Amino acid sequence: MLAVLMPVSLSAAPFAAYVMDARTGQPIYKQNADTKLHPASLTKMMTLYLAFTAIERGQVRLDSKFPVSSNAAAEPPSKLGLRAGQKIELRYLLRAAAIKSANDAATAIGEGLAGSETAFAQQMTAMARALGMRNTQFKNANGLTQEGHYSTAHDMSILGRHLFYDFPQYYNLFSRRSADAGIAKVSSTNKRFLDAYSGADGIKTGYTRAAGFNLTASAQRGKKRLIATVFGGTSTAQRNQTMAQLLDSGFSRVPNRVRETRPAPPKLVAQQKVVRRAQVQPKPAATQPQTQRLVLNSSEPPAPASRGSASTAAVATRDALAAAMREATQAAPSPAASASRLALASSIRPRLRPAAQGAAVDEAVASAVASAAEPAAQSASLAAPVLQASMRPARAPRSREAQGSASVAAIQSRDDGKADAVAQAVAEATGQDNNSLSLLASPAPKPRSETVILAAMGEGDIAEPEALEIVSRPADSGRHWGVNLGLYRSHSEAEKLLLQTALQDGTVLEGANRRIADTLRGFEANFVNLSKSDAQLACERLKARSQTCRVVGP
């Protein structure tokens, strides 16, 4: 286990560190890893993560132009120099936020994606929960100090790992030393560490007076990759040196080959809107429609016949039909005969041309069927029952009574002499009986109202944000024992010994503070803030390695 403990006298803010094997997500070292602290510009890692997500979902594009509000333009440095009212492509905002850590660019991204920085901060917190960042809450998109805005070294390392695995197509943005941001060329705030540490390829720096100097870094050596986060550095150089020591020690401890386990994708739970329909009393017309009667005709199936008799009857019927058709087509009806025939004013089916020829054909077919049926009376004919009982049903009109009346009136206007016979024929044809296929007329249903009354309910309870944990680091933290490692000629020599000892005995010294006392005899190296049992155990282990030490009591 690794342990990096910042000297209390040099810390500008509470110190925390976390190192993980990026391939598996397993921790290598953690020091105050779950303590809620100010993340500073490490916040922009989540801003960029949501921007990458929106691009991949097709919500925006890299060339989408985002408007710059007066709120974004008024953000304090570091900034790109955006002006209120201008529009700038998203690709330039991403470069400025990732490389220069521009606050105005980060705010413009949040407002462009969510409509307001407050709404975007809520999306950031929701995504943090989905990624497993349980001790993180965001209030803005850039990381400037604000009440209720906090994170941990552990959570930021989780976010750095997701950036590497979830968006490899955009990850190289974090290793660039400079880039064109549209209105200016920007340089990386992480350039010193990227240039100084071999294998480093990201990710993000951060600084505010309340947070100190923060850094989430990723580096690769061979097949090994580590991701580490440091909170509370005293300067850029000191923070980078501490990060380098953490990574060096981590690379020496992790195995060369492990089974890579990619992080699970975020599981966002969409907040469902509760919608309740207003209760409307239904009308009787909608619940009690008028009944419609459907009478289907049923016919007896044709009687089976023997092969011999059926063949004889079929041949006779076919010959009679052919002869009748020839006679009907050769006979030319006279005009007088055509005028005396019964003609309907309107018909659903198309009329035959000429009408007289069609009537002659019908009569010939009827006579042929009758003549063919006599010699085959003793056998079951196939043609006669089919022709007699399987006439195609005419399409039922909406109102048979109305059509019958109209047909009779039309016929009377053409041939008064035939009116009575036609009226009787129409009445017989339209009469309702159990053997006809007809749909009784019914009024059309009343149209349903297109108005839908919806009553929107509340969005659901929104839990109160977790209170910001105020971290204080008293000199002894309630534990009054320590381990003294002796006197040394220089401050750096004593600090180096304390750091090496902490890296070797991180389990026992995880909760200890590192303190160097400047005395007249030299620099005294001490581990303080230990219980008596931990101090004795740590000293015994050091003596086993021939290291001078003694337990210091209260």
At residue 289, the pLDDT reads 52
Catalytic residue status for 381:
no
Strand 27-31: give its sheet, edge to edge.
27-31, 16-21, 224-233, 212-221, 200-208
Tokens 């009393």 belong to 281
In sequence order, what DSSP letters do the residues of 386-433 get, joined into one string? HHHH-PPPPPPPS-HHHHHHHHHHHHHHH-GGGHHHHHHHHHHHH---
Give the model's pLDDT for residue 529.
85
Q: SS3 for 342?
A: coil
The predicted structure's pLDDT at residue 435: 46
Cα Rg, the chain, nearest whole Å = 47
CB 206, CB 39: distance < 8 Å:
yes
Burial of 415 from C-beta contacts in 10 A (0-12 / 13-18 / 19+): middle
Q: What angle do CA 344, 345, 350 make, to 5 degrees?
A: 75
Structure tokens at 276: 């309740």
Topology classification of domain 481-552? Alpha-Beta Plaits (3.30.70)
Beta strands 438-439 and 294-295, pairing class: antiparallel
- Residue 519 burial (C-beta neighbours within 10 Å; 0-12, 13-18, 19+): exposed
Identify the active-site residue in 41, 157, 249, 381. 41
Where does residue 8 rank: exposed (0-12), middle (13-18), buried (19+ CB within 10 A)? middle
Q: What is the pLDDT of residue 9?
A: 40
375 CB contacts (<8 Å, ≥6 apart)?
316
Single out the catalytic residue among 36, 69, 101, 249.
101
* Per-residue pLDDT in tens (0 to 9) along the chain, 554 residues: 444 444 444 445 799 999 999 999 999 999 999 999 999 999 999 999 999 999 999 999 999 999 999 999 999 999 999 999 999 999 999 999 999 999 999 999 999 999 999 999 999 999 999 999 999 999 999 999 999 999 999 999 999 999 999 999 999 999 999 999 999 999 999 999 999 999 999 999 999 999 999 999 999 999 999 999 999 999 999 999 999 999 999 999 999 999 999 999 998 754 444 444 444 455 554 445 555 555 555 556 655 554 544 455 555 656 666 676 676 555 544 444 444 444 444 555 565 555 555 565 566 556 655 554 454 444 444 445 545 555 555 565 554 444 544 444 444 444 454 445 545 554 554 444 444 444 555 566 666 655 555 444 444 444 455 555 544 444 444 567 888 988 888 988 888 888 888 877 767 787 788 888 888 888 889 988 888 888 888 888 888 888 888 888 87
Domain with CATH 3.40.710.10 in the chain: 8-253
> For residue 141, which amino acid is it?
A
Helices (H), 67-180: 70-73, 90-95, 103-114, 117-131, 153-166, 168-171
Is 41 marked active-site? yes
| Distance, C-alpha 433 to centroid of its chain | 62
Instruction: Specify whether 204 is catalytic.
Output: no
Query: Would you identify the CATH topology of the domain 8-253?
Result: Beta-lactamase (3.40.710)
Beta bridge partners of 517: 524
pLDDT above 70 as % of the chain: 60
Which of the following is catalytic: 44, 100, 204, 224?
44
| Nearest one of 221, 169, 215 to 188, comparing CA atoms | 215
Residue entry with tokens 């005969």:
337
Which part of the chain has CATH 3.30.70.1070?
481-552
Q: What is the DSSP letter of 354?
A: S
Cα(380)–Cα(394) distance, integer angstroms: 28
